[in-house]
């Protein structure tokens, strides 16, 4: 319990909760359940945690120390990417107007 871990894969089911490859967290419970660990992903300072979700054991690697600043940097990068994607115009279909 309280082991520090890093996510080593990018998966849509983790990303929907805001967790991405390279993020670091700590294991919340002593026991794993069906190959999953409950992991908390904090942010640096007074910011709310990113998530507390089940992560498959093979999608994690143990690390000596966790650095919550890394989580914030990764989160900001994905937030910027989502903002840019949201600003892209829909496909121009004006040539198909009757």
What's the CA gap between 25 and 4, in Å, rounded?
A: 6
Quick one: pLDDT band at residue 97, thresholds 50, 70, 90? very low
| Mean pLDDT (whole number) for 67-94 | 79
- Predicted confidence (pLDDT) per residue in 8-46, tens digit: 999 999 999 999 999 999 999 888 889 999 999 999 989
Average pLDDT of the chain, as a whole number = 88
- Write down the pTM of the prediction: 0.81
**Lookup result for tokens 């089911």:** 13
SS3 89: coil
What's the CA gap between 39 and 56, in Å, rounded?
A: 10
pLDDT of residue 70: 96
> If you write DSSP's letter for every residue of 35-61 in order, what string do you get?
TEEEEEE--STTSPPSEEEEEEGGGEE
What's the CA gap between 14 and 94, in Å, rounded?
A: 38
């Amino acid at each position: 319990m309280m082991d520090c871990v890093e996510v080593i894969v990018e998966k849509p089911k983790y990303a929907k909760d805001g967790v991405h490859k390279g993020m670091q967290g700590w294991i919340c419970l002593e026991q794993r359940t069906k190959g999953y660990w409950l992991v908390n992903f904090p942010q640096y300072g007074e910011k709310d945690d990113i998530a507390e979700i089940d992560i498959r054991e093979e999608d994690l690697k143990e690390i000596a120390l966790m650095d919550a600043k890394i989580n914030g940097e990764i989160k900001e990068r994905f937030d910027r990417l989502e903002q840019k994607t949201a600003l892209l115009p829909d496909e121009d279909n004006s040539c198909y107007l009757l």
